[in-house]
Each structure stands twice: as structure tokens, then as C-alpha cells.
Amino acid sequence: MIVPTEWVLMLSAVLFAIGVVGVLVRRNVIVIFMAIELMLNAVNLSFVALARSRGAVDGQVVVFFVMTVAAAEAAVGLAIIIASFRNRTTVNADELALLRG
Amino acid sequence: MGMGAALFLVLAVLTVVSALGVVLHPNPVKSALALIVTLFLLAVVFVLLEAHMIAALQIIVYAGAIMVLFLFVIMLLNLQSEDPERGRRRFVLRGLAWAGGVLLAVELALLTRGAPVGRPGAAPEGYGTAQSVAQSLFTDFLLPFELTSILLLVAVVGAVVLAQKQRRPTIS
Amino acid sequence: MPEAHAAAEAVIIHSQVLWLIPFFPLLGFLIAVAAVNAPNIVKITSPLAVLASFLVALASVVTVAGAPEGARLAQTLYTWMAAGPFHADIAFRIDALSAVMVLIVTGVGFLIHVYSVGYMGHDESCSRFFAYLNLFMFAMLLLVLGDNLLVLFVGWEGVGLCSYLLIGFWYAEDANAAAGKKAFIVNRVGDMGFVLGLFLLTWSLAPAAGGTLSLDFAHIQAHAASLAPATATAIALLLLVGAAGKSAQLPLYVWLPDAMAGPTPVSALIHAATMVTAGIYMIARLNVVFALSPTAMQVVAVLGALTALFAATIALVQTDIKKVLAYSTVSQLGFMVLALGVGAFATAIFHVMTHAFFKALLFLGAGSVIHGMSGEQDVQKMGGLRTKMPITFWTFLIGTLAIAGAPGLAGFFSKDEILWHTWSSGHTVLWLIATITATLTAFYMFRLLFLTFFGEIRADHDVAHHVHESPPVMTIPLGVLALLSMVGGWVGLPHHWLWGNPLGEFLAPVTGHPHAAEHGVLGEGALMLIATVLAIAGATVAYVFYIRMPGLPMVLSWRLRRVYELLLDKYRIDELYNAIIVAPYVRLSTFLWKIVDQELIDGFVNGLAGAVGANGRLWRQAQTGNVQHYALAFLGGVVLVLAYYVMR
């Protein structure tokens, strides 16, 4: 089954844009995190589509790595959020603005 | 339009809807669930694109591990729904506008500049199987592979250290 | 006209010890600085240093005196500057002229150092005083011993500095510090003229000397004749400005009366006997240049005569004992300048010597009086000290007689020689001015004597009770100076009297011979008689005013009160200078300070800083600490970059 590559790329762009909106708009840092994951997945989709169109597996290998790193990042990020929550009992991004100038 | 294309369209619409659900739903638990759905749908799309190995990994690792971790944390912190506030509307609109801009730019780039990709040809023999991916991974990409394992180790240690219980200073 | 003497064939004796003469006081200065907290040591080492200087100087002078006429001792220490055509060494010379000066400086200087041990011995900063005094001696000796104008100038500036330090010695009082500043600044004005004169002189002599630029006296002596009259006039007048500053002539005399704010030994040493004579010495030293310009000589003579008269009139009515002596000094310096102007260079130096004796004596005597009167300096509060301070009285009397020109005493012969040369060189009007001044001198000095020592004491009971004679360490120098004031004049008798004028002949190879002394309508003897009669008249009037009819001066001053007040206010010259020079300068300075510096420059600099700060405050608003805001900005950048690639 052949899927036109441009369509997939467009889907990827849309998902990415939705992810961006999520990062900018939501106040709950966990949800922000999830939006970031969404963006990463959109990129993964692009890679897979282009790998398919080229017929090379390299793109899939990259996706492999992206997933791995995303896992590591999620683990550490959530640990940070938990640690921060202990001090300030908030996950509201607006309230976590200590580095204000 | 072939079977693949039609199937893909359906999946695309569903994916977008669930993605919107991730981003827009006030309850973080519901957002997480929406994300899981999105990931599943993406795994199906991967299958359509003959990336079977990756699809499997997506479900096992992403939807199965990472999202579970997210849910654990959400439950642990006992987060409530976000309440909207005044002035959010403006911010939301602005964010949407920016996103739209990004989208537009990417689309334009794709349509006018990118090398024409057209319909892909038949996939080579054994494309997308675990074997072919592993073949590439353990030969051309061996170094990144090893480095990634170190990265994971670091992440584990970091996560443990960051999240451990604070020890109270003992009074001597 | 006086002939300039070319001493090209002079015998030069090389000496190894000349450097010791200024060195001993320098050593004394260093010891005083090191031992500043041990005044008892300094009180011994400082006078000893000067005594050592005096002895070396004496030995050197004896050598010069025994040598053929026109010989000199010379010592070059090292080359100071050698830059292309310009060459200057640190070198000393003792010829006839500097011999006389060095003996005066070290001799009188030593006596004053001894006196100061008594006068300043109880002052809490006494070591600092002796340090400055020794430093002054060092500078003054550089001045008189220098073999070139550069070393002289170093000494010139050095004595100016020490004068400032010593006038403002008790600097805790603002008035004293101000007087010190005034002395230094007015001197600076004179020095400007002096330096310009030096430059012009060096430069003008170069062509005749094959392009060599030098300030050596030998060099000047050899090539002076090559100067064009106009150039010589310009140089001479510029040098005169310098001399007028240092030797307190019109219009730069204003610092000298204010300088009385310093301790009395300072007034005696610096402002009577030595520093103020530096200008006289300088002109005498450079007599070849002055002799080339009759115009300049005329200016010098007129300036001297006018200054003499001017200062004498002010001295008539002053009530501070030191101020009277200060104006008297200005007046006597005017006499010396007059002598220089009429070509009698040696006579001017003769008067320098006798003046050093009796003026130092008078100042030290005044110091003794002030000491005995517990610090009182107002003559109107004195009187009757004759019996209470006999030694001071008798020595002061001798000094008064000497300055008034009593026959046989020191001042008589020197002043007389000045009057004679003025008359016989044809300057009749100047002679008249000088003679009138001499009469006034007699009057005001005897006025001072009578008011201070005669009659009933007019001071408070406590002060009157405390009046006592000064200790021997102060009265012995008074005695020595009194002796010198009596016999000091006998080295310069008119040349057909007894042994003639050994001093003048000794100095002649350096200072030239004044015009051949002729017998004019009036001979020298006749002039002497006139002067003596007038002096006696002046003294008698003073006697009448202040002993016989004490109410008379008051009546007279009331009758002529406009004149009296003008004189008392010293013609309001200080006020005039203040208004036309000082006040505008202060206004300019204030303007530059308040407007240019504070508002413009500080405003600009602070404005810059303010602008930077404002800019920072502006941009800081982007640092909200909110990560989502940062993400938004990030996104903006991404869009732009993408757009760029799209457009390409």
C-alpha cells in the first residue's frame, strides 16, 4: 500500500504545529511536556515517511534513537518536576518563574 | 486514490483530533490518555509506511512505558484540572497564530522548495523489518548506539537522584 | 656708562670642596626629616650644618682673595643635560661676586639658625622648622654658587618653595597658608618673565657661539657683546620681571608684607637678608647683558627709586612692628635696584651686605620684642621696653642708626655710595627721590624705635608684667649682628678716603667699574653731608612726634585723614589686584567648575551611564522567567529562519 509522501509530511507538520500550540498555551508543565512529546512524534513521522520514500532504513534508525532519547528525557524531566513540586507544590508554569530578570 | 491513501486519510483525521485533545483538554489525565491514543494511531501509520519494527517499538516503548510514567507522575502529584483565567484567551489566540505561521512556512517550503518526492516506489526486500534495522544500527550507527546507552544510564542515575526523598539533616 | 668687563682670561682654580657648601645644609635637612621626633638633636645639627658650610665657604673665599684679580674657584660635579647643541652641567663657582654672597648667606644664616634655637625651640613642630630652614639654605646656596643660569634657576625655584613652606609654617591658621600661597603665586608671575628671559638669552647667544646653546656664565660673558641692543633690552626687561618678583619691587611686591605671617627668624633670613636679594644678585651677575641696554637700565633705575619711595610712605603709618620692617625691606631693595640701574653693580652688592646685617638685626630684635611681649606685634601696645629689655634695645638702636644712615655705621657708606652714583651719573630726579626716601627712612625707623622702647608701656597688665629679656641664645646673635652693623660699612669707603673701597675693587672684575667718578657740582662729601643732615632731621621729627608731643601724630593723622587712610591701607593695591585679577579668575574657575565640569562633563558621563542603565531596564523586561514566553520568542526566530529559506 502506497501512501503519498507529501500527505504524510503534511500530517507531520500539523501535528507539530499542534504541539507548539500546546507548549505555548498550557500552564500545567506536565501537559507542556506531553505536547513536546507530540512534537517529537511528529518529527518521527517525517523521518519514517522520508525513509520510505528513499527506500533506505537509515531514517528508521534515527527514529529509534529519537525514541530512546525521548525516554531518557522524559524520565529526567519528570524527576525534575517532582523535585520542584516538593519545594513549591505547584506545577503551574507561570508560578515557576524564579529566573525573572 | 489507492487503499493506502484512503486509509491514511482516515488515520490522519483521527490523529489530529486526538492531538487536539491532548493540547486542549483541561484535565491532565485526559490529556495523557489522548496522547496514548495519538501514539497508537501513529503506530498504525508507521505500519502503513512499512516501518514495522518502529511501529512495534512505538507501542512498547512510547505508549507503553513513557506514557505510563507520565500517568504515574500525574497521579502521584494529584494534579487537578486547570482552571481557565482571564487573559488566557488572548494568549491562546496568539499561540495559535504562531503555530499557524509555522505550519504555513513549513507547508510552503514543502510544496515549493522541497525536492519532489512523489509517490514512493516499491519497498526493497526486507524493508522495515527488525533485521534490516538492526543491520544498519549495529554497523553504520554503532557509535551512536553505544553513546545512547550511556545516555540512558545517565538518565537513570539522574532520575533516581533527583526524585529521591529529601533526607532531613540530623541534629547532632 | 659702565663698561662691561670681559673676564675671558680669568684664572680658574679647580676645587674639590665647593659642593660641600650646599651639601651640608642638605644633610642637615635630611637629618631633620629623619629625626623629626627628636627636636633636641635637630636643634644642634641644623645650626652646625650651616656653620660647616660657612667655614668651607670662608676657606674658599680666602683662596679666591689670595689669587690674582679676576680668578675664580670652579667645580663641575657632573653633566646634567647634553642634548644636541644644548649642554648644562651641575657646576659651582666662587668668584668675587659669589664670594661676597656666600659669606653673607652662610654667616648671617648661621646666626639666625642659632637665634631660632631659642625662638622656635619650644614650638611643637620645631624639627620641621629647622628642616625647612636647612632646605632653604641649600637652595639659596645653589642659587649663589651656580656656575650657570640653570643651577641658579634651580636654587631660585627652591627658595621660592621654601619661602612658601616657611611663611605658611603655622598653616593651621588660614591666613598664614594664604600668605604662603600669595608669595608663591606672585613669585610665579615673576618667574615666568625670568624663564622667558632665559630662553631668549640662550637662543640669542647661539649664533655667535657657533650654534651652541648654553647658560654658563662664562659662555654669556664671552658672547654677550654679540647681542643686538633691542634683543638685549628685551632680555633685560624679562629678567627684570623675574627680579621684581623675587626682590619685591613694584608691582610684584605685594607678597612681602603678607609674608610676615611666618615666624620672625624666617622674616629675618629669607625676607631681609637672603632670598629677596636673589634678584639683585641675578642682575649683578648678568650685568654684561644689562649694560648693553641703556633703556633697560633706565627702567631698572626708575623702578627702584619709585619702589623705594612708595614703600617708605606706607611704612610711615604702619602699626605692626614686622610690617614696618617689611615695607622698609621693600624700600631698601628699591635702593639696591636703583644702584643696579645706574650701573653701580658693586655698590648694590655692598648694600645687600650691609642691609643683610642691619635688617636681620632689626628683625631678630623685633622677634625678641615679640617674644618678650608674649606674642604682641602691635606697636601701639608697646612702649617702655628700654629698661626691661636692655640688650634688645641697644642692638635695635644700633640697627636703627645703621639703616637711617648714621655716619660711620654700615648703612651710611653703602647708601651714600648709591646716592653718589645716582647723582653723578646724571639722574638728578632719581637722586632727589632717593634722598627723600632716605629721610623718610630715618623718620619711620626712629618712630618705630620710640614707640616700642620709650615712654610708658601701653600693654595689658599681664603682658606688661611678663616682659623679660630674651635668653643668650637669642641675644648673642643680636650682638654679633650689631657689631657687623657698626663695622660692616668700612670695607667700602669712598675711594680717596683712607683705604678706599676694597670691596668694590674686589668685585670689579665681575661687576665692572661704574663710570669714572667725577666731582660734579657737588662732590661726594657734600652729598654725604646733605644726606646726614636730612637723616638727623627725620629722626628729630620722629622724636618730636613721639616723645615730646605724643598727641601730635594723632592730630596730624586726623587732619590729613584721607592721606593717612590711603597710606594705612597700603594704597589699597591688594584690593586692586583682587578686583582686576583675582576676582575674575575665581569667577572663571567657578564657571569651569560648576558649569563645564559638573554639568557638562559629569552630565555627559553620568548621562552615558544612565542611558546604559535605561537601556538595560528596557531589555530586561524580556526576562520574565516564564519559559513559555521564551519558547514563544524561540518560535518567532524559527519562523523567520524558515521564511528565509522559503523565500530563497
Q: What is the ipTM of this complex?
A: 0.91
A–B interface: beta-carbon pairs under 8 A: 243
CA dihedral B50, B54, B55, B56 (to 10 degrees): 130
Q: Residue C104 above 80 pLDDT?
A: yes
Instruction: Over range C413-429, report the average pLDDT.
Output: 88
Q: Residue C637 above 90 pLDDT?
A: no
CA distance B22 to chain C (A): 17
Burial B45-78 (b: 16+ CB within 10 A, else e): bbbbbbbbbbbebbbebbbeebbebbbebbeebe
CA distance B170 to chain A (A): 20
**Chain C residue numbers touching B106 (CB-CB < 8 A):** 642
Please tell me if residue A31 touches chain C, with a CB cutoff of 8 Å: no
Q: Residue B37 above 70 pLDDT?
A: yes
pLDDT-above-90 percentage for chain A: 43
Residue contact A101–C622, C-beta within 8 A: yes
CA distance A38 to chain C (A): 16
DSSP C454: S
A–C interface: beta-carbon pairs under 8 A: 31
Instruction: Report the pLDDT value the prediction gives residue C502, as an integer from 0 to 100.
Output: 77
Query: Which secondary-structure segment (H or E) carries C91?
Result: strand C86-94
Closest C-alpha to B35, from B76, B10, B75, B69: B69
Closest C-alpha to C343, from C380, C314, C372, C301: C301
Helix/strand/coil for C14: strand
Please tell me if residue B127 touches chain C, with a CB cutoff of 8 Å: no
Instruction: Report the pLDDT value the prediction gives residue C312, as an integer from 0 to 100.
Output: 93
Residue contact B103–A14, C-beta within 8 A: yes
CB nearest to A99's CB, from C625, C628, C632: C625
Q: Residue C139 above 70 pLDDT?
A: yes
CA dihedral B133, B139, B141, B147 (to 10 degrees): 120
Written as nine digits, the cell of C13 is 682654580
CA distance A1 to chain C (A): 32
Instruction: Report the pLDDT value the prediction gives residue B114, as an integer from 0 to 100.
Output: 62
Q: What is the mean pLDDT of chain B?
A: 84
CB nearest to A24's CB, from C620, C624, C632: C632
Instruction: Report the pLDDT value the prediction gives residue C423, as an integer from 0 to 100.
Output: 87
**Chain A residue numbers touching B128 (CB-CB < 8 A):** 52, 57, 60
Instruction: Report the pLDDT value the prediction gives residue B168, as an integer from 0 to 100.
Output: 63
Query: Which secondary-structure segment (H or E) carries B47?
Result: helix B28-48
Instruction: Report the pLDDT value the prediction gives residue C8, as an integer from 0 to 100.
Output: 47
Residue contact C645–B113, C-beta within 8 A: yes
Q: Residue A73 above 90 pLDDT?
A: yes
**Chain C residue numbers touching B98 (CB-CB < 8 A):** 632, 635-636, 639
Instruction: Over range C307-324, report the average pLDDT.
Output: 92
Q: Residue A67 above 90 pLDDT?
A: yes
Residue contact C639–B112, C-beta within 8 A: no
CA distance C619 to chain A (A): 10
Please tell me if residue A20 touches chain C, with a CB cutoff of 8 Å: yes
Residue contact B4–A2, C-beta within 8 A: yes
CB nearest to B102's CB, from C635, C645, C648: C635
Q: Residue C2 above 50 pLDDT?
A: no
**Chain B residue numbers touching A96 (CB-CB < 8 A):** none
- Name which residue leads in pLDDT, C555 or B22: B22
Closest C-alpha to C15, from C69, C70, C57: C57
- Name which residue leads in pLDDT, A70 or C376: A70
Taking CA–CA distances from C633, the nearest residue in chain A reads A24
**Chain B residue numbers touching C634 (CB-CB < 8 A):** none
**Chain B residue numbers touching A54 (CB-CB < 8 A):** 120
Instruction: Over range C305-322, report the average pLDDT.
Output: 92
Cα-based distances in Å from C176 to C115, C165, C319, C370: 22, 10, 19, 17
Instruction: Report the pLDDT value the prediction gives residue C51, as an integer from 0 to 100.
Output: 95
Q: What is the mean pLDDT of chain A?
A: 87
d(CA C151, CA C155): 6
**Chain C residue numbers touching B102 (CB-CB < 8 A):** 635, 638-639, 642
Instruction: Report the pLDDT value the prediction gives residue A15, as an integer from 0 to 100.
Output: 92
Map grid coordinates 644644548 to a residue. C86
Q: Residue C617 above 80 pLDDT?
A: yes
Q: C445: alpha, beta or left, given left = phi > 0 and alpha = psi -120 to 50?
A: alpha
Confidence of residue C6 (pLDDT cuts 50, 70, 90): very low
Q: What is the mean pLDDT of chain C?
A: 87
Please tell me if residue B109 touches chain C, with a CB cutoff of 8 Å: yes
Query: Which secondary-structure segment (H or E) carries C409?
Result: none
Cβ atoms of C364 and C474 within 8 Å: the answer is: yes
**Chain C residue numbers touching A25 (CB-CB < 8 A):** 628
Instruction: Over range C194-203, report the average pLDDT.
Output: 92
Instruction: Over range C352-368, report the average pLDDT.
Output: 93
Q: Residue C1 above 50 pLDDT?
A: no
Helix/strand/coil for C320: strand
Is residue C295 packed enough to be buried (19+ CB in 10 Å), middle (13-18) or exposed (0-12)? middle
**Chain C residue numbers touching A96 (CB-CB < 8 A):** 627
DSSP C248: T
- E-strand ranges in C480-530 read none
Please tell me if residue C77 touches chain A, with a CB cutoff of 8 Å: no
Instruction: Report the pLDDT value the prediction gives residue C5, as an integer from 0 to 100.
Output: 44
Written as nine digits, the cell of C623 is 526576562
Rg of the Cα atoms in chain A: 17
**C72-83 β-sheet, strand order:** C12-14, C72-83, C86-94, C213-214
CB nearest to A100's CB, from C625, C628, C632: C625
- Single-letter amino acid, residue C32: A
pLDDT-above-70 percentage for chain C: 96
Cβ atoms of C367 and C452 within 8 Å: the answer is: no
Map grid coordinates 626682590 to a residue. C247
d(CA A75, CA A70): 8
Cβ atoms of C175 and C259 within 8 Å: the answer is: no
Question: DSSP of C251-294, one letter per residue?
Answer: TS-THHHHGGGS-HHHHHIIIIISGGGHHHHHHHHTHHHHHT-H
The backbone torsions φ and ψ at residue B170, rounded to the nearest 5 degrees and listed phi first, read -80, 145
Return the residue in A88, A94, A95, A96 with the most chain C beta carbons within 10 A, the one to mutate for interface testing.
Answer: A94
Provide the sign of the torsion angle of the four alpha carbons C414, C417, C422, C428, taken in this order.
Answer: positive
Confidence of residue C568 (pLDDT cuts 50, 70, 90): confident
Please tell me if residue C618 touches chain A, with a CB cutoff of 8 Å: no
DSSP C89: E
Helix/strand/coil for C580: helix
**Chain A residue numbers touching C635 (CB-CB < 8 A):** 20, 24
CA distance C635 to chain A (A): 8
- Name which residue leads in pLDDT, C142 or C494: C142
Which chains touch A (3+ CB pairs under 8 A)? Answer: B, C
Closest C-alpha to A74, from A86, A64, A82: A82
Task: For residue range C517-532, list pLDDT tens digits in order.
Answer: 555 556 777 888 888 8
- Name which residue leads in pLDDT, B114 or C369: C369
Task: For residue range B91-115, list pLDDT tens digits in order.
Answer: 666 767 777 777 767 776 666 666 6
CA distance A88 to chain B (A): 12
Instruction: Report the pLDDT value the prediction gives residue A89, as an integer from 0 to 100.
Output: 76
Residue contact C628–A101, C-beta within 8 A: no
Cα of C195 vs its chain's centroid, Å:
17
Instruction: Over range C633-643, report the average pLDDT.
Output: 82
Rg of the Cα atoms in chain C: 30
Residue contact B124–A91, C-beta within 8 A: no
Written as nine digits, the cell of B172 is 547532632
Instruction: Report the pLDDT value the prediction gives residue C527, as an integer from 0 to 100.
Output: 83
Instruction: Report the pLDDT value the prediction gives residue C53, as an integer from 0 to 100.
Output: 94
Cβ atoms of C282 and C339 within 8 Å: the answer is: no
Q: Residue C516 above 60 pLDDT?
A: no
Instruction: Over range C27-51, report the average pLDDT.
Output: 91
Confidence of residue A7 (pLDDT cuts 50, 70, 90): confident
Task: For residue range C237-261, list pLDDT tens digits in order.
Answer: 999 999 999 999 988 999 999 999 8
